[in-house]
Amino acid sequence: MKQMAMDLSPEWILLVGIALILIGEILLRENSSRFILGLIAGLTVTASGLFVILQGKEVISLFSDSYVSDPLIRSIKLLLIVGTLLVVILSFSEKLAAKGEYYLLLLSALLGAMTLVSAAELVMLFVSLELLSLSAYVLVGMHQERLASSEAAWKYVVYGGASSAFLLYGMSFFYGLTGTTSLTEMSGNLAVAFTNNNEMLLYLGFFLILVGIGFKIAAVPFHMWAPDIYQGAPTTITTFLAVVSKIAGFAFMLRFLGSLFGTQGIQSVLHGVVIPALLVLSILSMIVGNVIALKQFHLKRMLAYSSIGHAGYMIIAIITILLGGESVAYSSLYYYFVAYLLASTGTFAILQVVAQDKSPDRRVLSGLHKRSPLLAFCLSVFLLSLAGIPFTAGFIGKLTILVGAFGNSLFWVAGIMLLTTVISYYYYFRLIRQMYWQEDEKAEKERVSWSAGFVIALTLIGTFLFGIMPQILLQGIGSWFM
Amino acid sequence: MYLTSYLALAAILFCIGLYGVLTKRNAVMLLFSVELMLNAVNLNLVAFSRLGFFPNIEGQIFTFFTITVAAAEAAVGLAILIALYRKKETAEADQYNSLKG
Percent of chain A scored above 70 by pLDDT?
95
> DSSP code of A68?
E
A164 contacts chain B (CB < 8 A): yes
Candidates B62, B87, B101; nearest CB to A175: B62
Task: Over range A139-143, report the average pLDDT.
Answer: 89
* Cβ A441 vs Cβ A366: under 8 Å: no
B58 contacts chain A (CB < 8 A): yes
* Cα–Cα distance for residue pair A317/A417, rounded to 1 Å: 12
- The greatest distance separating any two alpha carbons of chain B, rounded to the nearest whole angstrom, comes to 52
Is this structure's pTM higher than 0.80?
A: yes
Q: For chain A, what's the residue count?
A: 482
pLDDT for A1: 61
CB–CB of B53 and A172 under 8 A? Answer: no
pLDDT for A358: 65
Cis bond upstream, residue A373 (ω within 30)? no
Q: Which residues pair with A182 in a beta bridge?
A: A121
Distance (Å) from the C-alpha of residue A221 to the closest C-alpha of chain B? Answer: 15
Q: For chain B, what's the residue count?
A: 101
CB–CB of A168 and B27 under 8 A? Answer: no
Per-domain residue ranges of chain A: 2-481
The lowest-confidence range among A80-89, A277-286, A293-302, B9-18 is: A293-302
* Cα–Cα distance for residue pair A235/A392, rounded to 1 Å: 24
* Cβ A212 vs Cβ A277: under 8 Å: no
* Cα–Cα distance for residue pair A160/A163, rounded to 1 Å: 5
pLDDT for A270: 77
Q: Which of the listed CATH numbers 3.90.1150.10, 3.40.120.10, 1.10.287.3510, 3.20.10.10 matches domain B3-93? A: 1.10.287.3510
Compute the count of residue pairs across chains A and B with CB atoms less than 8 Å apart. Answer: 143
φ and ψ at residue A266, rounded to 5 degrees: -90, 115
* Cα–Cα distance for residue pair A374/A192, rounded to 1 Å: 61
Q: Does B55 have pLDDT greater than 70? A: yes
Q: Which residue has the higher pLDDT, A15 or B91?
A: A15
Q: Which candidate in A99, A143, A158 is best for mutational testing of the B interface (most B CBs within 10 A)?
A: A158
From chain A, the residues in CB contact with B37 under 8 A are 161-162, 165-166, 169
CB–CB of B87 and A147 under 8 A? Answer: yes
Could you tell me which of A407, A255, A263, A402 has the C-alpha nearest to residue A322? Answer: A263
φ and ψ at residue A444, rounded to 5 degrees: -70, 150
CB–CB of B18 and A168 under 8 A? Answer: no
| pLDDT-derived band at A199, boundaries 50, 70, 90 | confident
Q: Does A265 have pLDDT greater than 60? A: no
Amino acid at A176: G
* Cβ A397 vs Cβ A336: under 8 Å: yes
Distance (Å) from the C-alpha of residue A295 to the closest C-alpha of chain B? Answer: 9
Q: Does A99 have pLDDT greater than 80? A: no
Distance (Å) from the C-alpha of residue B63 to the closest C-alpha of chain A? Answer: 9
Amino acid at A2: K
Candidates A127, A137, A147; nearest CB to B65: A127
Per-domain residue ranges of chain B: 3-93
From chain A, the residues in CB contact with B18 under 8 A are 162
Q: Which candidate in A142, A169, A288 is best for mutational testing of the B interface (most B CBs within 10 A)?
A: A169
Task: Over range B43-60, report the average pLDDT.
Answer: 89
Q: Which candidate in A172, A178, A199, A229 is best for mutational testing of the B interface (most B CBs within 10 A)?
A: A172
Give me the torsion for CA of A158, A159, A162, A165, rounded to 10°: -110
C-alpha atoms less than 13 angstroms from C-alpha of A221 in its C-beta half-sphere = 3
For residue range A49-71, list pLDDT tens digits in order: 988 888 877 778 888 788 888 88
* Cβ B85 vs Cβ B31: under 8 Å: no
Task: Over range B34-40, report the average pLDDT.
Answer: 93
From chain B, the residues in CB contact with A193 under 8 A are 53
Burial class of residue A165 in the structure, from the number of CB atoms within 10 Å of its CB (0-12 exposed, 13-18 middle, 19+ buried): buried
The lowest-confidence range among A151-160, A234-243, A426-435 is: A426-435
For residue range A390-424, list pLDDT tens digits in order: 888 889 889 888 888 888 888 889 999 999 999 99
* Cβ A83 vs Cβ A247: under 8 Å: yes
Nearest CA in chain A to B24: A158
